[in-house]
Amino acid sequence: MKVSASFLSSKDIPKDLVQLDHTDIDYIHVDIMDGKFVSNKTMPFHEMRHVGDYTSKRLDVHLMVEEPSKYIPLYAELNTEYITFHVEVLEDIEANLDLIHHYSIKSGLAIKPDTKISSLVPYLPFIDMILVMSVEPGEGGQSFIRNTEKKLQEVRDLVESYHFPIIINVDGGVNSETVKYCSDADMVVAGSFITSSDDFQEKITSLRS
């Protein structure tokens, strides 16, 4: 199980990023919110771009925005391995996936808890990751939605039926208790579970076991 750490709920982002850099975390999960697609808004790019000043870990960027095309070129400048945006956006999804690949970055599609997984089917040949939201996107510290276990099973069946090498990721309310419901995922995102603890590495290790 790979683990991506979100700093959305961090009280001291630079300090937490430096601390994460000294763990075996696989990715730093960067949540980007525009105040439109979701009600909350994150810091602007001219501040967010300094993430790389505090960690050498690869970035897993999650765009919770109405217009991914405005953000993809910006976050492609950073040490980014994945850029994921939502299948629910109104912009041209294939065009945005092509734009991500133009920068030689892996692409992902995120799906909200109430969105049917059939909405992903047309894009399976073009994506590298599916991000299953186990909370409503836009706010840290929410509780894991128990029905996500079934959704992850359905997404796993979907991916395997089409034989595409797609990573399944899950984001929201993941901790050492709820991770047992994520056995069909290849990767989990954890935020406050890690960053509010006194021992980041111990929490990361507990998610892998």
Q: Which residues are catalytic?
A: 31, 171
Closest by CA position to 55, among listed 2, 18, 15 = 18
d(CA 67, CA 72): 9
* DSSP strand pairing (80-86 vs 59-64): parallel
Secondary structure (DSSP) of 42-85: PPPHHHHGGGGGT--SPEEEEEESS-HHHHHHHHTTSSEEEEEE
Q: What would the 3-class secondary structure string for 174-205 be? A: CCCCHHHHHCCCCEEEECHHHHCCCCHHHHHH
Closest by CA position to 56, among listed 78, 84, 72, 34 = 78
Token digits for 139? Answer: 């706010």
What is the number of H-type helices and E-type strands within the chain? 7, 8
